[in-house]
């Protein structure tokens, strides 16, 4: 057992650290995604694409870097450390691996380059108004007519669909089969007639998610991934990947740093809040939780590098990771005191509204409200508990 990095790994760390320092657009440092334009969100993606580092976790033959699991871990750490904008997962982490694992040659040639370059923006057509935790009950249906499917139904909570060029979509192709067995995995061009995207504004005032209505949408049959009615297998494969990235350890470390600096600037009777027992203990607690999660994630990664997983244990990463993210934002609200009340502008509205408060305090309450989504999305934390109970404990 050894948790230290090797000299080669340390050299790699220095290399990527330097690359980030020299190439990351400084004006985007630490920006919240909700405050960025489409081009700003994609800026880092495009830089990494040019460098050939945009998809470290992909097999080399499809554009991956060939890095070891430890190197990928270091890469993520360094990105979080430099507060780069997180890359969008929909293409790179979700549909990309599905396409190179289950797609045909034609599909790989057609879709993988656009995912890597960032020219194609993908969104996820999974949840429906009636199908949240019980995803397999989805009702959007696709009927085969000649060499097309005709799709009718609706998706919801579709993140950043307002910018999307493509949607990967779960549809019901066999209404008579058992729930999981009648589902197919379709790739849908968002410009197809019959698609309407309606924004959903969340309680923090941002526009991240949308409803997507599909009315007689004609999708070429060649956009079917794998076999008809086998979509649930691909969907589960994708969800497994989604969970493994969700721990967010490196980003939470950075968030704790920011929390500490907020709590250092905030005074209690002239003393920094961070120096008070009650607050420093709470920060210590969440930091310790995060250390434990970090090693748990490393153990998962180590197992993965030996060809196992990510199995149901990935649910631990989702539950603990989101609890920690939520706790940090909760503490940030406590840290700023009265200024937590101030509403920071969200959406694309004008830039010069008055947002008082100490540096870094702007929008902390909104971040806290926004982070409540994390225990709901990607399979709610209740569902993750069920997965562990059933698959790990055998209950």
Pick from 41, 20, 185: nearest CA to 118: 41
102 touching another protein, by CB under 8 A: no
273 touching another protein, by CB under 8 A: yes
Chain position carrying tokens 């429906």 = 128
Question: Which helix (H) or strand (E) covers residue 105, if one does?
Answer: helix 105-117
150 touching another protein, by CB under 8 A: no
Distance CA 348, CA 356 (A): 20
Long-range contact list for 288-297, CB < 8 A, 24+ apart?
289/320, 289/323, 289/324, 289/327, 290/249, 290/252, 290/253, 290/256, 290/324, 292/320, 293/247, 293/249, 293/317, 293/320, 293/321, 293/324, 294/249, 295/3, 296/320, 297/247, 297/249
- Between residue 312 and residue 341, which ones bind another protein under the rule CB under 8 A? 330, 333-334, 337-341
Tell me whether strands 195-200 and 271-272 are parallel, antiparallel or unpaired: unpaired
77 is catalytic: no
Shortest gap between Cβ of 364 and another protein (angstroms)? 10
348 touching another protein, by CB under 8 A: no
Among 31, 221, 239, 268, the residue binding another protein under the rule CB under 8 A is 268
Distance CA 262, CA 285 (A): 17
Tell me whether residue 205 or residue 310 sits nearer to another protein (CB atom): 205
Pick from 333, 315, 335, 332: nearest CA to 375: 315
User: Are the beta carbons of 81 and 27 closer than 8 angstroms?
Assistant: no
**From 208, 228, 242, 297, the catalytic residue:** 242
353 touching another protein, by CB under 8 A: yes
Shortest gap between Cβ of 167 and another protein (angstroms)? 17
Tell me whether residue 74 or residue 387 sits nearer to another protein (CB atom): 387
Tell me whether residue 117 or residue 375 sits nearer to another protein (CB atom): 375
Among 23, 137, 291, 305, the residue binding another protein under the rule CB under 8 A is 137
The catalytic residues are 242
The residues of the shown chain that bind another protein, judged by CB under 8 A, are 127, 130-134, 137, 156-157, 200-205, 209, 266-270, 273, 278-279, 330, 333-334, 337-343, 353-356, 358, 365-366, 368-369, 372-373, 375-377, 380-382, 385
């Amino acid at each position: 057992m050894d948790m230290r990095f090797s000299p080669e790994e340390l050299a790699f760390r220095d290399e990527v650290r330097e690359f980030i320092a020299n190439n990351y657009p400084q004006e985007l440092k630490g920006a919240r995604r909700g405050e960025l334009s489409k081009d700003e969100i994609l800026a880092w993606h495009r830089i990494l694409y040019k460098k050939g580092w945009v998809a470290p976790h992909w097999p080399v033959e499809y554009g991956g870097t060939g890095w070891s699991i430890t190197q990928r871990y270091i890469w993520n750490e360094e990105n979080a450390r430099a507060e780069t904008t997180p890359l969008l997962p929909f293409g790179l982490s979700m549909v990309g691996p599905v396409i190179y694992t289950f797609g045909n040659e034609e599909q790989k040639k057609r879709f993988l380059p656009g995912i890597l370059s960032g020219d194609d923006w993908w969104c996820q057509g999974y949840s429906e108004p009636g199908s949240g935790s019980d995803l397999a009950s989805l009702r959007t249906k696709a009927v085969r007519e000649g060499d097309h499917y005709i799709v009718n139904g609706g998706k919801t909570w579709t993140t950043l669909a307002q910018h999307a060029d493509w949607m990967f979509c779960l549809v019901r192709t066999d209404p008579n089969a058992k729930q999981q067995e009648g589902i197919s995995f379709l790739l849908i061009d968002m410009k197809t007639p019959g698609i309407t995207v309606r924004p959903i504004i969340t309680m923090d005032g941002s526009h991240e998610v949308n409803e997507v209505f599909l009315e007689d949408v004609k999708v070429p049959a060649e956009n079917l991934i794998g076999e008809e009615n086998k979509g649930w297998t691909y969907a589960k494969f994708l969800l497994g990947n989604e969970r493994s990235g969700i721990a967010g350890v490196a980003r939470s470390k950075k968030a704790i740093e920011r929390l500490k600096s907020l709590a250092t600037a905030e005074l209690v009777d002239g003393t920094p809040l961070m120096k008070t027992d009650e607050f420093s203990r709470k920060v210590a607690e969440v930091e310790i939780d995060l250390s434990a999660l970090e090693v748990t994630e490393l153990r998962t990664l180590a197992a993965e590098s030996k060809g196992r997983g990510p199995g149901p244990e990935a649910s631990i990463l989702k539950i603990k990771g989101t609890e920690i993210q939520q706790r940090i934002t909760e503490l940030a609200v406590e840290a700023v005191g009265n200024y937590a009340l101030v509403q920071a502008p969200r959406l694309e509205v004008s830039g010069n509204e008055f947002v008082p408060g100490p540096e870094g305090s702007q929008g902390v309450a909104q971040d806290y409200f926004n982070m409540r989504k994390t225990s709901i999305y990607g399979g709610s934390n209740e569902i993750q508990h069920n997965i562990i109970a059933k698959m790990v404990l055998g209950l």
